[in-house]
Every structure is written in C-alpha cells, then in structure tokens.
Amino acid sequence: MVRKKKSLYGYQMILPAILIYVVFFIAPAIYGVYYSLTDWTIGKSSVNFVGIQNYIKVFQESELRKAIGNTFLYTFVVVVFKNLFGLLLALAMFTAVLVFAAPQRCADALHAGLVLCGGPLLVSLFPFLIVSALLMGCGAGPLLGFAFQPAARVIGVRAKAAGSVLLIGFLGGFAPAAAAAVQAVRTGQLTPRQASVLLPACVCSGPSFVILTVGEQMLGSRALGVRLFAVQLLAGYLTAAVLCRMQGGAGQCLPAKAEDIPLPTLDAVVAQAAVTYLKLCGFVLYFRLLAAGAETLLPKPWSVLPAMLLEVCSGCDCASRTGLWASTLCCAALSVQGASVILQVRTICPPEVSLGPLLAARVLHLPLSLALFWLVMPGTEQAVQAFSTLSGRVAVMHRVPLDCALLAFAVCCITVAELQKRCSGQCGALHD
C-alpha cells in the first residue's frame, strides 16, 4: 500500500501542469479544428457543418499565397542574418579572448603565417596569379591547355578555355585556377555557369605543397605525397562531372570575337595579382590564428577537426602529428580545404560565378578521396617506414626547390605575352 502511494506521488505533482496544458492548449486546439469545419461566426446562434469548404476558400485567396511567401521570406532573412551575425560576433569575441588567453600561441601562429606568406606563397602563388591572367588573355592559353581538354569534356564543359583553367589548377592550385576562371568569364571564353562547374575540379592544393610539404616534410614520404595529390585531383574531376550531370549540365558557351578580347597589360595584371595576393594572405593569417586557438583549447586528437575546417595548412600540420592515422587525416584535410580556401575563392570570383557547386563538391569529395586513397595506399611496411620518419614538430613553412621552376615559367609566360602584344601592334600598324 505504501509503495502504491509513493508511485502515485509523482503523478500528483504533475497533475496541475497537465490540467493547465489541457484546458489552455489542447481544448482550444480541438475546438478550433471543429469550428474550422463549420460556418460558425461570432454572434451566430446556429452552426452548420460545411466540411473542408473553408480551407478550399482560403487557399483560393491570392492574399494567402502572398502572406505565406512573406512569412517564409521573413523567416529566412531572420534566421540567416541572426545566425550569421551571431557567428561573426562569436568569432570576434573568440579572437579577442584568444589573444589575451594564449598570447604566445597566437604570436607563433601569426609568425608561421607570415613566414608562409613571405616564402612559399609569395614564390609559388603570386607568379601564378600573373601567369593565369596572361594565359587567359592571350592566344596561348587554349594551346597549352590542350592536354586537359578531354578532362574538361568529361566534366561537361566543351569550351577551349576549360583546359587552360584545369591546367592552371593542376600546376598552381585553387587561387590561380579561380583567377583564371574569372578571367575567362570576363573575356567571354567561359560563361559564369561553366566557371562554377569547373571550380570543384580545380580548387585543390598545388603539387608543391601536397607532394613536398605534406608528403615529404610532414609524412616523411614523397611517394605518399604524390598519391595524395593524385587522389585529390582525380576525386575533384569525378565530383565535378557528377555534380554537372546532376544539375543539368554546364550549358553552351558563346565564344567572344577575337577583337572583343582585350590583351591585358602587364602593369594591370601585376597590380591585380598583388591586391589578390594580399587578400589571400589576410585570410591565411586570420584562420591560422583561429586554428591555433582551437588547438590550444582542445586536446590533441580533437583539435584536428576544427583545424581542418578552418585552414588547410593548419589542418595538415595537426593531422601529420596524430600517428598512424596521419596520412588519412591529411587526405581529409586536403579534401575539405577549409573555410579559408572557400572565402579566398569567393574573394576572387565575382557574384555571378556561383560557389554552390564548389560547396556541394566538398561533401562528395571527402568520401570519394578517402576511398581512392585507401585503394592506392602503400603496404603496411612502407607505411610504417614513412610514419617512423616523423619528427616531434614539423616545420611547415619551408621553401621548396620547385619555386625556381615556377618563377622561370612565370617569366616565360610574361615574355610570350609581351612579345605577342608587340607583334600584334606592329602587324596592326603595317595593316593600316
């Protein structure tokens, strides 16, 4: 009997709340549904059942559709902007607190970022920004990108400039490729839709970073770096092809007339490349700072995820120090690329070039690249030998010998463009 009283004691405590909820919420809802099926109005004594006629009449009103549209618009704007503002405010507060909470860690992260911007990025990225603009502005671009034209056709873009964009992405990485795609759109060689379709295929890290920095310096195996680069490149092409077909194709390009395509001047190209480079360095510094803060606050195994989501260099750096799963996590970091890369591409691309395919590609690219990586993964003995060469702390910001070749390539491209410009001017003068 005592046990029964104890079991009923809990129900007695919640009974008032249940009664209030039934009286003020459940009962009015039931009465509302009942009256919606009748012709009752305020002050009317008789009530007749009309079924769903009231609902049919309401949905036939034009004002209802307008009200529903306004409601959805208001909800979307409020939700998006409120969350965006909250995210920006949280990032600002986190950055301010981080500087005072871990000043030495922040100083080290900014120093590493400055070394990266003043060393490898300056030598490998800045020349390619110039090269991409010159190649897409002169007639040599389609000729040099001829080898990548079949890959562009497989993706779904048949324009001649698509091969050049893929070539620049293959050699220089995401920033020069995005700049080349934008230049092709401005000169009428690609439509904005085609440029958006190509971005998932060419937004990847360059071979110098993946092979020499991630593979050789971080993971202790250049062969592993080659596999990582090949995997992310192949996964990018396959992802771009799948998304292009899922979204109904890339459309047809209407090539611009030769006389309508202006040959870029060298001073304008260099100035634009310098501005773009400084913007990219700003993103790199800020997101490395955030990644360093996440690594400080979180334990080592869990700090890899925010680092990968923020900045690709920091993500690979953290992943390379995780032990046996280092190569797999580096592959994931190279696939995700991080928010820094996405914002850098957004900075380069104009508003008419949508980043929707690129964002969707990140979701498909990750499992595809991991699956391909495990298919080409070296044997256990080779993997153990590669991981045994890891140092306690890998210096990521190291200049690579390939930079000399990149500078020579840039000088050659600039020379060809300038010679073509002068020859065109002389031929035009003789024709006149």
Q: Could you read off the pLDDT of 376-409 as tens digits, one per residue?
A: 765 433 443 444 344 433 333 344 445 555 555 6
Question: Position 15: which residue type?
Answer: L
pLDDT top residue among 120 and 348? 348
pTM score, whole prediction? 0.65
pLDDT band at 262 (very low <50, low <70, confident <90, very high): low
Which pair of tokens denotes residue 73?
A: 């618009």
Which pair of tokens denotes residue 254?
A: 């209407």
Q: Does residue 39 register a pLDDT over 50? A: yes
3-state secondary structure of 9: helix
Least confident of 117-126, 328-337, 354-363: 117-126
Query: How crowded is residue 370: how many other Cβ atoms within 10 Å of its Cβ?
Result: 17
pLDDT band at 413 (very low <50, low <70, confident <90, very high): low
pLDDT band at 425 (very low <50, low <70, confident <90, very high): low
Q: How far apart are CA 277 and CA 263, in angstroms?
A: 22
Least confident of 116-120, 206-210, 339-343: 116-120
pLDDT of residue 70: 78
3-state secondary structure of 379: coil
Q: Does residue 96 register a pLDDT over 70? A: no
pLDDT of residue 162: 85
Q: How far apart are CA 55 and CA 43, in angstroms?
A: 21
pLDDT of residue 136: 73
Round the average pLDDT of the chain to a whole number and report it.
Answer: 75
3-state secondary structure of 325: coil
Q: Does residue 92 register a pLDDT over 80? A: no
pLDDT of residue 208: 79
| Residue reference for tokens 């991991």 | 370
pLDDT of residue 401: 44
Taking the C-alpha atoms of 315, 318, 324 and 326 in order, what is their torsion angle to the nearest 10 degrees?
30
Query: DSSP letter at 300?
Result: H
Average pLDDT over residues 178-191: 84
Average pLDDT over residues 176-203: 85
Q: How far apart are CA 33 and CA 31, in angstroms?
A: 5
Query: DSSP letter at 38?
Result: B
Q: Does residue 237 register a pLDDT over 50? A: yes
pLDDT top residue among 361 and 6? 361
Least confident of 239-253, 265-279, 369-383: 369-383
